[in-house]
Every structure is written in C-alpha cells, then in structure tokens.
C-alpha cells in the first residue's frame, strides 16, 4: 500500500527510455509501470513496491520480470516484453522511494553530500548492507496517512520505521526526494543497458521497436 505518484514514474521512465524506444512501445511500458499501483496491486504485493522490508522479494521480482522480457523476445511475441519491462521499472523505481537506500548513501558524506545527479544507484556496500530496510505498513494508520488532512495525526501515531515516515514518494518529503528521483532515473537507464547486454542486437532492436 504505497505509491510514488504516477507523475514521477512517468517522468523518470520517459527521461530514461524516450530516446531509445518507439512511441507505442514507450506507451505500453509506461502503462504497465503505472498499473503496478492499481488498487489490487496495493495489497499483499510487498515485492512490487519494496514495502515491509521485502528487499529480497523485490530483487527477485525484478529478476523474474527481466526473465519474462528475455523469454518473450525468444518467441515472436513483443507485447509481453514491454509489459514485463514496465513492471520491472516500477519496482526498481520504488526501491529508492521506499527503502532507506538514499539515506544510507547520504550518510556517507557527513552532511555535505554531492548533488543529486551524482548519486550511485547501485553502490554494492549499500545494496548489500544489513542496515538496508524499507518502510513497514502499519494499518490502519499508514492508510489514513494518504488522506492529507489526517496526515499529521497519522504520523504522530506511526513509528519511525513506517512507510508514512520513510517514504520518498513526493517532494513534500524534503531534500532527500531529488536524490530518490535521480537514483531511480539512473537505475531505469541501467536496467535498459543491462538488457542491451543480455539480448542479441536483433532481439534488442525488436524490443525497442525503433
Ligand atoms: Zn509502487
């Protein structure tokens, strides 16, 4: 139960992919990305949003979707590859909004961090750090958090390891938000580059539809 608002998922996906994909491919990838936050994907799907400390499950989910991209492109199909890639990107982007990765990265710099574009989205020591965790969903307070007038009251009752306190879903969350956006955008580019390496040139150009 958590969502970085659609606007940011769209902007980051366009920033990373637009130069590389056809318009119709990009449209389907974005639609699949946004569908991850649909009502029925909010419950019992911690792996999709890296909620509730589902770090390993989230990582596995990304690998699984990457597998679907490859499997689809080994057949004549294409639609399934775009959908799986959109799903993968959503989860990869949520990683930076719902875990403390950005905080761990900033903590390395004793209060004088480099600007957001310099964040490394996959620093090995941090990705594998035992301190890496994500916001826990405490119901009903983490649901009431989304009703804006109730937010201050919900936060008073929520523990600091809750999604309500930890999320970097919107600019309201302060100076860490631009780091989450920068990291998630770079990560999206990284995921595309990884597929470029894994696919044959013929498969890759079928995938990008350009
Ligand atoms: Zn999400």
For ligand 1, the distance from its centroid to the CA atom of residue 127, given in whole angstroms, is 19
- Whose tokens are 């710099």? That residue is 109
Ligand 1 ion: Cβ-proximal residues, 5 Å cutoff: 37, 49, 94
* Portion of the chain with pLDDT greater than 70, in percent: 99
Would you say residue 1 has pLDDT above 60? no
The predicted pLDDT at position 182 comes to 98
For ligand 1, the distance from its centroid to the CA atom of residue 5, given in whole angstroms, is 8
Would you say residue 34 has pLDDT above 60? yes
For ligand 1, the distance from its centroid to the CA atom of residue 72, given in whole angstroms, is 24
Q: What is the pLDDT of residues 80-138, one digit of tens each?
A: 999 999 999 999 999 999 999 999 999 999 989 999 999 999 999 999 999 999 999 99
The predicted pLDDT at position 62 comes to 98
Q: What is the pLDDT of residues 39-83, one digit of tens each?
A: 888 878 999 999 999 999 999 999 999 999 999 999 998 999 999
For ligand 1, the distance from its centroid to the CA atom of residue 60, given in whole angstroms, is 16
* Portion of the chain with pLDDT greater than 90, in percent: 91
Over range 155-164, report the average pLDDT. 96
- Which H helix or E strand runs over 141? helix 141-144
For ligand 1, the distance from its centroid to the CA atom of residue 141, given in whole angstroms, is 18
For ligand 1, the distance from its centroid to the CA atom of residue 40, given in whole angstroms, is 12
For ligand 1, the distance from its centroid to the CA atom of residue 43, given in whole angstroms, is 11
């Amino acid at each position: 139960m958590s969502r970085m608002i659609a606007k940011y998922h769209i902007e980051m996906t366009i920033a990373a992919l637009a130069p590389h994909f056809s318009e119709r491919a990009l449209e389907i990838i974005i639609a699949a990305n946004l569908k991850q936050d649909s009502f029925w994907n909010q419950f019992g799907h911690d792996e999709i949003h890296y909620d509730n400390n589902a770090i390993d499950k989230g990582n596995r989910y990304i690998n699984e979707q990457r597998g679907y991209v490859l499997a689809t492109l080994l057949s004549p199909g294409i639609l399934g590859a775009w959908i799986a890639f959109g799903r993968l990107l959503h989860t990869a982007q949520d990683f930076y909004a719902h875990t403390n990765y950005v905080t761990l990265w900033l903590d390395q710099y004793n209060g004088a961090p480099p600007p957001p574009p310099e964040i490394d989205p996959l620093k090995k020591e941090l990705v594998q750090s035992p301190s890496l965790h994500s916001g826990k969903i405490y119901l009903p307070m983490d649901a009431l958090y989304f009703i804006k007038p109730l937010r201050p009251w919900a936060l008073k009752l929520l523990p600091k390891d809750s999604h309500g306190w930890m999320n970097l879903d919107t600019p309201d969350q302060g100076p860490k938000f631009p780091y989450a956006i920068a990291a998630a955008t770079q990560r999206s580019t990284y995921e595309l580059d990884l597929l470029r390496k894994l696919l044959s040139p013929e498969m890759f150009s079928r995938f990008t539809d350009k």
